A and B are shown apart, each in its own frame.
Chain A
Amino acid sequence: METNEIKRVIIIGAGQAGGEAAQRLRQGGFEGEITLIGEEPAPPYQRPPLSKKYLAGEFGMERLLLRPASVYADERIALLTDTRAVWIDRKGKRVRLEGGRELPYDALVLATGARPRKLSLAGADLEGVHLFRTAEDVDAMKPAFVAGAKLVVIGAGYIGLEGAAVARQMGLEVTVIETAVRPLARVTSPEVAGFFLDEHTRQGVRFVLGGQPAVIKGQDRVRAVGLADGTEIPADIVLTGIGVNPETTLAQHCNLPVDNGIVTDARCRTEDEAIFAIGDCANRPIAHYDGRQCRLESVHNAIEGAKIVAATILGKEAALETPWFWSDQYDLKLQIAGLFHGYDHVVFRGVMADRAFAAFYYKGDRLLAVDAVNRPAEFLGAKALIHKGLSVSPETIADMARPMKEIVAAAG
């Protein structure tokens, strides 16, 4: 399709990916119609603070919003909140909304995100059992977040641990149940996971590792979480953070290829050249990792997808970045550059006891990724190295006498 034939763009999903795509299209000079459709009542907002400052009450909804609600009208972006798209007619290039209204498109962007997995346990629907995805989810749990309340977090991923950290800082009693034998098993190395386990333990979080939740007990409200071995953990609130599934229903219904997300090419195009997919719902090749197909759940990925789609529709090229992530827990800022999967050895710069260190992950000679804890220079330095396809020897990395900036400059 010639890009100048695109007059009407519909974006389904008004999270960060969808919101950024609309904004970047308009700011990039797209003159046609932009319709942004979202199921939530609010305009696009940032999700990362939900498990951090928003839960802690430091941020209100107004500060979560990516842009004030009025900006959409100013920029001629038709924002349809509280609206569900139910069908895509690929042949007729139309999207049908709940209620029957149909909207035509020349280009369609699927930014449908992901849905948190629910516990498939008896009692999982009891009051006091919460998911962690939307501002509404957090609004629902916040009143019970009071000092002395008993919180059980199921799942020791980043979201669960961030929730645990905020809860401890607010004076709740916190137990984290994880089916794996260590926290963060899917997302970092045993060494870095061990550091966070120690830190949370020191802060008073109790861990049940290798624990198998079997039932949520209570009458009207949750009272306890029962484990498979018969142990009962008292709970006033249960927070579920056991991962997400990409939201691919619409794509599947119109027979677009789906394999752990909606499959796209490097331009975020699906098999149908008029349909793109970006953000948590999409599975695209990542340039910095030999074009490996990845479904990333991150702000960087949401923004990058939006940049790519906007550039493609405008007939331009988008500048790509090394994938990056972050997590805030207590006074620890974890910044991650790159994708560590497949690493065969890890080299440390700095020591954990200082609560400021970086783990460099290598496969052979190649630097794959870095987990930097309170080490922003190592994070940005590694991000630059990976972006340029450069590596640095483990001896150099471990040499704290050489500043990171100098190491990066010397690498080329």
Chain B
Amino acid sequence: MPKITYIEDSGKEHAIDAPEGQTVMEAAVKHAVPGIDADCGGACACATCHVYVDPEWLGKTGEANSMEQSMLDFANDVETNSRLSCQIKITKELDGLVVRLPKSQH
């Protein structure tokens, strides 16, 4: 199973074995990683699963589509490596992915 590491704003790390086919958001929520709210459950409806993708991985996670980009415009502290984690599907190629979490989703 691909391993994904989530780093909270405080620096605390959570390394999780994440099943392929789920999203980076789902794997975090199901393991109760604090800092990803994902209120809408992954429908790309709420923008509360914002993460920063480690720059090394940007090529593999792909880019936000226009719907996601519009949502990100309204998230807090958006950077060029910001993504909504409900829109990143876990694949073998993402084994080792590192994402950082913002201070707050609201």
Chain A residues 272-304 with CB under 8 Å of chain B are 299-300, 303
Shortest Cβ distance from A122 into chain B, in angstroms? 38
In contact, B43 and A326 (Cβ under 8 angstroms): yes
In contact, A48 and B73 (Cβ under 8 angstroms): no
Chain A residues 368-400 with CB under 8 Å of chain B are 374-377, 380-381, 384
Tell me which of B6-14, B32-40, B89-97 binds A. Answer: B32-40
CA–CA, A63 to B31, complex, Å? 13
Residues of B within 8 A of A408 (CB): 74
Chain B residues 10-24 with CB under 8 Å of chain A are 22
In contact, A328 and B43 (Cβ under 8 angstroms): yes
CA–CA, A375 to B47, complex, Å? 13
Which residue of B29, B32, B34, B40 is within 8 Å of A299 (Cβ)?
Answer: B40
Question: For chain B, which range describes its interface: under 10, 10 to 19, 20 to 34, or 35 or more residues?
Answer: 20 to 34
In contact, B71 and A380 (Cβ under 8 angstroms): yes
In contact, A326 and B45 (Cβ under 8 angstroms): yes
Known: A68-B30, A319-B106, A374-B67. A335 touches B74 (CB 8 A): no
In contact, B44 and A299 (Cβ under 8 angstroms): no
In contact, B32 and A376 (Cβ under 8 angstroms): no
CA–CA, A109 to B44, complex, Å? 30
Shortest Cβ distance from B22 into chain A, in angstroms? 7
In contact, A377 and B32 (Cβ under 8 angstroms): no
Known: A48-B41, A48-B43, A49-B41. A67 touches B74 (CB 8 A): no
For B75, give the chain A residue with the smallest CB separation. A380
Residues of A within 8 A of B40 (CB): 48, 299, 326
Secondary structure at the B interface, as helix, strand, loop or mixed, is loop
With an 8 A cutoff between CB atoms, is A169 at the interface? no
Shortest Cβ distance from A63 into chain B, in angstroms? 7
CA–CA, A384 to B34, complex, Å? 24
Encoded as 1 (CB less than 8 Å from any B CB) or 0, chain A from 59 to 97 comes to 000010111100100010000000000000000000000
In contact, B41 and A299 (Cβ under 8 angstroms): yes
Which residue of A49, A66, A375, A377 is within 8 Å of B73 (Cβ)?
Answer: A377
Chain A residues 300-359 with CB under 8 Å of chain B are 300, 303, 319, 321, 324, 326, 328, 333, 335
Known: A319-B106, A321-B106, A324-B46. A377 touches B39 (CB 8 A): no
With an 8 A cutoff between CB atoms, is A23 at the interface? yes
Residues of A within 8 A of B67 (CB): 333, 374, 376
Chain A to chain B contacts (Cβ below 8 Å), 25 pairs: A23-B32, A46-B41, A63-B22, A65-B30, A67-B30, A68-B30, A71-B31, A71-B32, A299-B39, A299-B40, A299-B41, A303-B39, A321-B106, A324-B46, A326-B40, A328-B43, A333-B45, A375-B70, A376-B47, A376-B70, A377-B74, A380-B73, A384-B74, A405-B73, A405-B74
Interface residues of A (CB under 8 A from B): 23, 27, 46, 48-49, 52, 63, 65-68, 71, 75, 299-300, 303, 319, 321, 324, 326, 328, 333, 335, 374-377, 380-381, 384, 405, 408
Interface residues of B (CB under 8 A from A): 22, 26, 29-32, 34, 39-41, 43-47, 67, 70-71, 73-74, 106
